[in-house]
Chains A and B, each alone.
Chain A
Amino acid sequence: MTPFAFHVARDCAEALSLGAASGARFIGGGTNLVDLLRQNVESASKLVDVSRLAANIHEVGNGALLVDASVKNSALAAHPMVRGRYPMLSRALLAGASAQIRNMATVGGNIMQRTRCAYFYDVDGARCNKRQPGSGCDAIGGFNRYHAILGVSNDCVATHPSDMCVALAALAALVHLVGPEGERTVPLAEFHVLPGASPQIETVLRPGEMITAIELPPATPAMANSEYRKVRDRSSYAFALVSVAAGLEVVGGKIAEARIALGGVAAKPWRATRAEAALRGLPATRANFLSAAEEELTKAQPLEGNAFKIGLVQRTTAAVLESLAGERA
Chain B
Amino acid sequence: MTITINGSDYAVPYDSRVSLLDMLRERLSLTGTKLGCNQGACGACTVLLDGERVLSCLTLAAQADGRDVLTIEGMQGADGSLHPLQKAFIEHDGLQCGYCTPGQICSAVAMARELRRGDPSHVTANLAAGPDGPTREEIRERMSGNLCRCGAHNGIVEAIEEMLGREAA
Contacts and interface: CB of A to CB of B under 8 A. Distances in A.
B is bound to A: yes
Interface of A: 1, 3-6, 8, 27, 29-31, 34-35, 37-39, 47, 49, 51, 74, 77-78, 80, 83-84, 87, 90-91, 94-95, 97-101, 103-104, 235-237
Interface in B107-128: 107, 110-111, 114, 117, 119-122, 124, 127-128
Interface residues of B, number: 39
A236 B122 contact: yes
A227 B140 CA distance: 21
Interface stretch (B39-47, B86-94, B155-163): B39-47
Contact of B119 (A1, A4, A74): A74
B16 A99 contact: no
A104 B58 contact: yes
A4 B16 contact: yes
Contacts of B36: none
22 contacts: A6-B62, A27-B60, A30-B58, A31-B55, A37-B17, A49-B62, A78-B117, A87-B128, A90-B127, A94-B121, A94-B122, A97-B145, A98-B43, A98-B144, A99-B142, A99-B145, A100-B55, A101-B40, A103-B49, A103-B52, A235-B144, A236-B141
A91 B119 contact: no
Contacts of B128: 80, 83-84, 87
Given A8-B65, A83-B120, A38 B55 contact: no
Interface of B: 15-17, 19, 38-40, 43, 46, 49, 52-55, 58-60, 62-63, 65, 107, 110-111, 114, 117, 119-122, 124, 127-128, 140-142, 144-147
A91 B142 CA distance: 14
Nearest to B16: A6
B122 A51 contact: no
Contacts of A34: 19, 58-60
A20 B45 CA distance: 34
Nearest 4 pairs between A and B by C-beta? A98-B145, A236-B144, A6-B16, A94-B122
B127 A237 contact: no
Contacts of B111: 99
Contacts of B54: 100, 103-104
Nearest to A28: B63
Contact of A104 (B59, B120, B140, B146): B59
Contacts of A4: 16-17
Contact of A237 (B52, B53, B120, B144): B144
Contact of A94 (B40, B43, B58, B120): B120
Contacts of A38: 38-39
A99 B138 CA distance: 12
A94 B55 CA distance: 17
Nearest to A4: B16
Contacts of B121: 94, 99
B139 to A, nearest CB: 12
Given A49-B63, A100-B46, A100-B145, 9 more contacts: A4-B16, A78-B117, A97-B145, A100-B53, A100-B55, A101-B55, A101-B58, A103-B49, A236-B141
